[in-house]
Amino acid sequence: MSHVFISYARLDEPVACTIADGLREAGFEVWRDDELPAHRPYAEVIAERLTGAAAVVVLWSAEAAKSQWVRAEADTARMALTLVQATLDGLIPPLPFNQIQCADLKGWDGERTASGWRKLLASVTDLAGPPPPTAARESSREVSVCVLPFQNMSGDAEQEYFSDGISEDITTDLSKVSALEVIARNTAFTFKGQSVNVCEVAKKLGVTHVLEGSVRKAGNQVRITAQLIDGRTGGHVWADRYDRDLTDIFTIQDEISRAIVRALKLQLLPEEKKAIEQRGTQSAEAYNFYLLARQYWVTGNHGDPRREERVMRICQRAVEIDPYYGQAWALLAMAQSSLRYVHGQEIDDGFAAAHAALAIDPAIAEAYCAMARRLEEKGRRAEAAAELEKGLRLAPQSWELNKEAGRLALRERDIAKAAAHYETALEAVDSDFHSWAMVVTCYQAAGRRGDVRRGAAKMISEAQKALQQDPSNGAALGILAGGYAILGDRDRARECIERAQLIDPDNVNMKYNFACVLAAYVGDKEEALQLLKRALAASSEAIVRAADSDPDLDPIRDEPAFGKAIKEAKQRLKIPLEDVTSTAAP
State the CATH number of the domain containing residue 242: 3.40.50.10610
Shared-domain flag, residues 196 and 254: yes
Shared-domain flag, residues 60 and 167: no
Q: How confident is the model at residue 586 (pLDDT cuts 50, 70, 90)?
A: very low
Shared-domain flag, residues 94 and 60: yes
Domain for residue 263, yes or no? Answer: yes
Task: Report the run of H or E that residue 344 belongs to, with start and end.
Answer: none
Is 57 a residue whose pLDDT tops 90? yes
Shared-domain flag, residues 227 and 256: yes
Domain for residue 157, yes or no? Answer: yes
Is 585 a residue whose pLDDT tops 60? no
Q: For the packed helices 160-174 and 249-263, what is the interaxial angle rounded to 10 degrees?
A: 40
Shared-domain flag, residues 121 and 162: no
Shared-domain flag, residues 260 and 201: yes
Tens of pLDDT along 290-300? Answer: 999 998 898 88
Pick from 395, 420, 422: nearest CA to 172? 395
Mean pLDDT score of the chain, rounded to an integer? Answer: 86
Give the pLDDT mean for 474-483: 87
Q: Among 109-113, 273-277, 389-393, where is mean pLDDT lowest? A: 273-277
Number of structural domains in the chain: 2
User: Strand, helix or coil at 550?
Assistant: coil
As a whole number of angstroms, the distance between CA 515 and CA 24 comes to 34
Can you list the pairs that 487-493 forms with residues at least 24 positions away whose Cβ atoms lie under 8 Å?
487/13, 487/14, 487/17, 487/453, 487/456, 487/457, 487/460, 488/10, 488/11, 488/13, 489/11, 489/13, 489/14, 490/522, 493/517, 493/521, 493/522
Domain for residue 166, yes or no? Answer: yes
Domain for residue 159, yes or no? Answer: yes
Q: Quote the DSSP letter at residue 110.
A: S
Contact criterion met (CB below 8 Å) for 387 and 375: yes
Q: Among 103-117, 223-237, 320-334, 369-383, where is mean pLDDT lowest? A: 103-117
Could you say which of 99, 128, 157 is where a domain stops? 128
Tens of pLDDT along 400-457? Answer: 999 999 999 988 889 999 999 999 999 888 889 999 999 998 998 888 877 888 888 8
Domain for residue 416, yes or no? Answer: no
Q: How confident is the model at residue 132 (pLDDT cuts 50, 70, 90)?
A: low
User: Strand, helix or coil at 293?
Assistant: helix
Could you say which of 255, 279, 303 is where a domain stops? 279
Domain for residue 516, yes or no? Answer: no
Domain for residue 483, yes or no? Answer: no
State the CATH number of the domain containing residue 87: 3.40.50.10140
Is 230 a residue whose pLDDT tops 80? yes
- Amino acid letter for position 41: P
What is the predicted pLDDT for the residue at 158? Answer: 73
Tens of pLDDT along 505-535? Answer: 888 888 888 898 888 888 888 989 998 998 8
Shared-domain flag, residues 122 and 219: no
Shared-domain flag, residues 95 and 164: no
Shared-domain flag, residues 8 and 121: yes
| Residue range(s) defining the domain that contains residue 70 | 3-128
Is 578 a residue whose pLDDT tops 70? no
Percent of the chain with pLDDT over 70: 94
Shared-domain flag, residues 152 and 226: yes
Shared-domain flag, residues 198 and 266: yes
What is the predicted pLDDT for the residue at 139? Answer: 58
Could you say which of 229, 252, 279 is where a domain stops? 279
Domain for residue 285, yes or no? Answer: no
Shared-domain flag, residues 98 and 188: no
Is 211 a residue whose pLDDT tops 90? yes
